[in-house]
Amino acid sequence: MLQACSGEKNTENSSNNDIIDTLSTVETGTIITEIIPESDPIYIMDTLEQRLIDSGLVNIEAIIPGILTDVRYSDTNNFMKTDVYGHLNRVYLQPSVAEDLKKCQAKLKEIDSSLTLLVYDGVRPRSVQQFMWDILDMPIGEKVKFVSNPKNGSLHNYGAAVDLTIAYTNGVVLDMGAGYDDIRKIAYPRHEAAYLDSGMLSQQQIDNRGLLRDVMRSGGFWGIQTEWWHFNRYSRDKAKGLFNIVE
């Protein structure tokens, strides 16, 4: 999987912004449930989230102590400048993948209890990925740098991949030398040594990425060469045999 996630905060691409300006929100489903826990602000569950639950996926915050989330695709703070998740503001994964992620969180806490995993994205329904694919107005060769082709299905579609970083428990993230969804080569793990040599990445930034890789490895996850934040728990073949794509 060459590009599992998406792209950088794409301020330079005006053609995208033109398209996206016409699409301020995405219809992800009819609101069917409104839950108002006593101590929480209003949380609205829509049919998209209900579909994840019906597919057997789990809300990671319900099972992983202390884990933080920042669902960028449920906000306009992403490379499309568009909220593609609507009311969905939680991260869902396959139960076994969430259990393995719990091991990674425990490992990180063992190393430094002031740190926590902070998750940007887990399962990404294929319909949402298709929407992201459709609104990017560019040749396919460029498009795949931002979003993987929904036709192929991605490990995010199965709920078997996760995008995340490390933060302090107050939510301040460690410096990884490039932001989430940054498509510049400085975000590529495979170019870290060259960027260290040129002085564009510091040893501390590379060590922070290394810490993330180490704790993820402890739960059976592995990274990819082009995104420091993306980790798979299964190969695509294995995921295909175990799970269904969440449409």
Cβ contacts of 188 within 8 Å, gap of 6 or more:
225, 226, 227, 228
DSSP per-residue string spanning 38-90: TTS--EEEEHHHHHHHHTT-EEHHHHSTT-EE--GGGSS-STTSSB-STT--S
143 vs 230, which CB is nearer to Zn ion?
A: 230
According to the binding rule CB under 5 A, does residue 5 interact with Zn ion?
A: yes
Q: Which one of the spans 33-41, 163-171, 189-197, 239-247 is the region binding Zn ion (CB under 5 A)?
A: 163-171
Calculate ∠ Cα 97-26-147, nearest 5°.
Answer: 55
What is the number of other CB atoms lying within 10 angstroms of the CB of residue 65?
10
Q: What is the DSSP-derived secondary structure letter of residue 183?
A: -
How many residues belong to the site for Zn ion (CB under 5 A)?
Answer: 4
Q: Which one of the spans 88-96, 101-109, 162-170, 193-201 is the region binding Zn ion (CB under 5 A)?
A: 162-170
Instruction: Tell me the HSE value of 216 on the side-chain side, using a 13 A CA sphere.
Output: 26
Amino acid at 81: K
- We find the least distance from the C-beta atom of residue 93 to Zn ion, in angstroms, to be 12
205 vs 232, which CB is nearer to Zn ion?
A: 232
Map the footprint of Zn ion across residues 38-97, applying CB under 5 A: none
4 vs 118, which CB is nearer to Zn ion?
A: 4
Binding pattern for the stretch 108-147 against Zn ion, x by CB under 5 A and - elsewhere:
----------------------------------------
Map the footprint of Zn ion across residues 222-241, applying CB under 5 A: 230
The one among 70, 163, 182, 192 contacting Zn ion by CB under 5 A: 163
- Binding residues for Zn ion, rule: CB under 5 A, are 4-5, 163, 230
